[in-house]
Amino acid sequence: MSLKRKSLLTLLFGLFAALVLAACGGGGSDDASSSNDGGDSSESSSEKSGGGDLRTVKIGGIFDITGGTGDVGTPYAEGAEAYAEWYNTLEDRKVNIELIGKDYAYEIPKAQADYQEFRDKEGVSAIVGWGTGDTEALRQQVAQDELPFMSASYSENLKNIDESPYNFLVAASYSDQGRAVLKWISENHEGDDPPKVALLYNDTAYGRSPIDDIKNAAPDFGVEIVDEQVIDVAATEAQSQMMNMAKAEPDYAIIQQTWNATSVILNEAQTLGLDTQFIGLNWSAGEGLLEMVNPGAAEGFIATLSHVFPYEDYPGLAEIEEYLETKGKTLEDINQKFVQGWATMKVMAAGIEAAADLTDGEITGAHIREGLESLSDFDLGGLQPNVSFGPEKHWGTEQTRLGIVKDGKWEQLTDYFSANE
């Protein structure tokens, strides 16, 4: 073939290729790749919710679904994940939030491994955590990595900002709750003798967390601690512990457990015919407890209520109801621990939104910490007490309220208060 004919064929081929590209609408290779690469479904989803140009902030979720506290951990995780999903549908949001949850089964080594994966592989900017043991084990690491950590643990130790500069508590600490219970006992006890109190808890960092603080505060409220019993968080019976406690004849017993062990305690107390008034801290409260106990065993049980029930009348429940409608569900399909997870993630999102105003670039953990510290009297629509943080204060509130089981249903017993009021 002659050189002239080769040149003519080359020219014709080039013209044909150009016509094909024009017919496909390709205005240029860069535009084509940006409009078609990466999948249209996620892009159209972002466009529908108005978030196509928003920055994305990744949050790691360390949850207990299958471990010793999965009874309350599962609905809590569902609530946190639900809020993140709902937030991403808001047209006026400032960022997109990607919550990446993992079940660590209440095992501290697994929580540490999950944390490292979140940090090194996923590149998260903050963590929503769970247990006391793992939260306390990670607090120096999260400070070094500058990753804000908002845990479902309300350990008093996390209020020490020098040791936990990147930890945030959204509810009253277990010790604050315990002191509030002591105050209520001192003000409501009948009789001339000092009220006698037993302490029932599990042998974990969570179970032990408020015990020394409660014992140290008891004399200030004229309360005598007369007995302590350790009951496993996954206990199926506690007859010997309850019989030993009965010998001390306590007027009250403060429970630091989740639903499972609390139900065992109340069932054993019913069987033994004890007239002790049982008062639990926040993880013992909730609808799930009433599904576990024997009929009537929880009647009159009192507990601290860190968050509201879905059937109460608070404006903050409206957004949860709106979200549930998109899933074909109602408020009757969730419980208080779902609300607790939702509210926690709502506070984290508020800190992220504040952080978004601090930079036009990447929103880092340091930005989120500063954003959280700017929240003052942050209103959660009554889902829990308003929270206020600051550069020297990473615990949002000391207030809690008490609820009581009447006719098989939780009712409010007191308004929000603290031991210092």
Give the model confidence (pLDDT) of 173-198 as tens digits. 999 999 999 999 999 999 999 999 99
The confidence score (pLDDT) of residue 52 equals 64
Cα 386 to the center of its chain, rounded Å: 15
Average pLDDT of span 136-154: 97
Average pLDDT of span 322-326: 98
Q: pLDDT tens, 20-35?
A: 334 433 333 333 333 3
Contact 347, 323 (CB under 8 A): no
Task: Compare 30 and 250 and report the one with higher pLDDT.
Answer: 250
The confidence score (pLDDT) of residue 421 equals 85
Q: pLDDT tens, 70-126?
A: 999 999 999 999 999 999 999 999 999 999 999 999 999 999 999 999 999 999 999
Q: pLDDT tens, 207-230?
A: 999 999 999 999 999 999 999 999
**How would you classify the pairing of strands 302-305 and 401-406?**
antiparallel
The confidence score (pLDDT) of residue 51 equals 55
Task: Compare 200 and 53 and report the one with higher pLDDT.
Answer: 200
The confidence score (pLDDT) of residue 38 equals 33
Average pLDDT of span 227-241: 97
Q: Angle 23-36-58 (CA atoms, 0-180°, nearest 5)?
A: 170
The confidence score (pLDDT) of residue 398 equals 98
Q: Domains of the chain (ranges plus CATH)?
A: 55-172+312-390 (3.40.50.2300), 174-305+402-412 (3.40.50.2300)
Q: pLDDT tens, 334-391?
A: 999 999 999 999 999 999 999 999 999 999 999 999 999 999 999 999 999 999 999 9
pLDDT at 47 over 60: no
The confidence score (pLDDT) of residue 189 equals 97
The reported pTM is 0.87
pLDDT at 404 over 50: yes
